[in-house]
Amino acid sequence: MSDERFADTLLVLVEKYGLNKTKDLNIHLSIDELASYTCTSKSYMKKIITEFTHRGLISFSSGNIKILNLPLLRNTAMLNSKLTIH
């Protein structure tokens, strides 16, 4: 479920800060900050970022997050809302 929570967090950040022309979030965040926002550990956040990178959702480098596949990111976040509705 942390994957969905991270996807949802990224969508909130996209909505709040926007993306530049190269699809980078207009905010730099450390792994520690992302872990805090999603209530996960730093080590687990690293695993989630690696998974999202391998799935082609994002790229992450030195606090810079590039959104590579916004529709798939939205689908991933929707899994969280579907699980919490019941």
Q: What is the pLDDT of residues 5-62, one digit of tens each?
A: 999 999 999 999 999 999 999 999 999 999 999 899 999 999 999 999 999 999 999 9
The mean-pLDDT minimum among 6-10, 70-74, 80-84 falls in 80-84
Domains of the chain, each with CATH number or no CATH: 2-75 (1.10.10.10)
The mean-pLDDT minimum among 52-56, 61-65, 82-86 falls in 82-86
pLDDT for position 1: 54
The answer to whether 53 touches 59, Cβ cutoff 8 Å, is yes
SS3 call for 63: coil
The answer to whether 76 touches 70, Cβ cutoff 8 Å, is no
What residue spans of 18-69 are helical by DSSP H? 31-37, 42-54
Does residue 81 have a pLDDT over 90?
no
